[in-house]
Structure 1
Amino acid sequence: MAFSVLAVFVLMFASGWGSSISKANVQKPHAANYPFNNVSLPWEDRVNDLVNRLTLAEIQDQMAHSGGSPSGPAKAIERLGIGQYQFATECLRGDMRTNATAFPQSLGLAASFSPDLIFRMAQATGVEVRGSHNNYVQKKNYGGHTGASCFAPVINIMRDPRWGRNQETYGEDPYLSGVYATAYIQGLQGNDTRYVRASGGCKHFDAYGGPESNPVSRMIFNAQGDMG
C-alpha cells in the first residue's frame, strides 16, 4: 500500500513510541518484533510495513476518528500492539485548552514579520502539547484535544473579508504564509532525529476561505461568481 500520512501518526504516537504505550503491547510482546516497531529502520520502511498489516476496515476506522469535531479516539488495534489515539487537537495559537499558554491570533503573529517569533511560539506550543498528551495518556483519557497531532497551522490565504475565519490565517501573501507555516511546523515538531515532539497538520484545503452567507457556503461557494 502507498505511503500514508495517517499511518505516520499512528506509528509515532500509538505503537509504543514515547508515552502512548498501550496495554496491548504488554499483553502481546511479539508485536514489538514487527518491523514498524524497529526504530533503526527508515521511516518509509516502517510506515510501509505498518500500512500493509492494516486491514481496510482498520484504516477506515482510524480515518473516521481523525476529523475536526472529536467523536472519540481511534480504536486500538490490539493485534498489532497499537493503542487508542485522539487525533483532534487544536494548536493554532498555542495548546488551545485549559491551563495552557494562549498566543495572539495568527494574523497578529503575522504582523510581526518574524519567522523566528513563529518558530519560538511553536516550540513552546509543542512542549505544552506533548506534556499534556503524556499526562492524558497516563490517565487513560483519550477525549477531545488530548493527542499530540495538531490541526495547525492554517495555511488558507486571506482572499475575501467576508470569510469568518480570516484571523486564523497569516494574511494574503502566499509566500509569507509559506515561510510562517514552515517555521511553525519545524518549531512544533522539534529537531530530534528519532522523536517528533508534536506533529503539525496544515489546514484547510479546497473551497475553504470564501464568503460565509451560511455554514454550507464554506464548502461550496463559487469563487468566480462570489469574488469576481
Structure 2
Amino acid sequence: MSTRISQDDKIVIVMGLTGVGKSQFIERATCSKGAVGHTWRSETSSIQIVRAVHPANGSSVVFVDTPGFDCISKSDEEILGIIADWLVKAKKEKVIVATILYLHRISDIRMSRSAMKNLQLFRSICGSQAMLNVAIVTTMWSKVGRKDGIDREEELKKEVWHNMLDDGCGIERFEDTRESAWRIVLNLMKNPGVSLLIQDEPTGDTTADRYLAGTKEPVLKGLLKKIRKCFQWLL
C-alpha cells in the first residue's frame, strides 16, 4: 500500500476527541484494520493515513486520522502543531482536501468542557469557508435508544452546532458499516476541494493558536489570584 499522497488523491480528514470512533470509521470504510502508514514522517507525528478505492469510479481516496486534542501524552499546542504542519505541507504539495469529518459520540449525555474546546479548535482550523465540505458525524448509535439519540441530536443542532450549520456544515449518522461510511464521504465529495483556514494563515499565529492562548488566560488569572491570597494570609 502506497503511503505517498499525490495531487490526484481525494483527501478525507477525520477529526474528533479520542475514543469517538475515528479509527473504526476509517477501518469500516477501507476494510483494512490496522493498515496505517505515515506521510511526512517525524518523531512527534501522530497523523496516520489509509488509502482506499472510490467504490464508484475507482479513484484513490486517502483517509487521514488525526490525534484528538484531549490526548494525554501531548499538549493541545503540540497536537495543533502536528495537524497544522501536516496540512501546510499538504497544501505545498498541491494536495486538495476534499472532505473534513468531525466525529461526535451521540452516546455522550452532555458536551464536556474538553468536547466544547475541541469543537471550537476544529472550527478555527477549518474556517467558515470550508463548512460546505464539513460534516459532523455522530457515532455510537448502538449505545443509545433511537428516540434518545434523535432527541440529543436535535438539541445539539440547536444549542451547539447551529453556527456551523448556518455556514453549510452537514450532519450525518455513522451506523458502523462500510456502506454508511462511504455514503457520508461521497455526499461531501460532490463539492469541490477546499483550502482550510489554518493552511492560509501565518504559522504560529493562526486563529486556532489565538483561541488556545485565550483559553489559558482565565486559568492563569485564577492561579495568580490564589497565589496572592496565600501570600496575604502569610503576611
Query: What is the TM-score with the length of structure 1 in the denominator?
Result: 0.30
Q: Please report the TM-score for the alignment, with normalisation by the length of structure 2.
A: 0.29
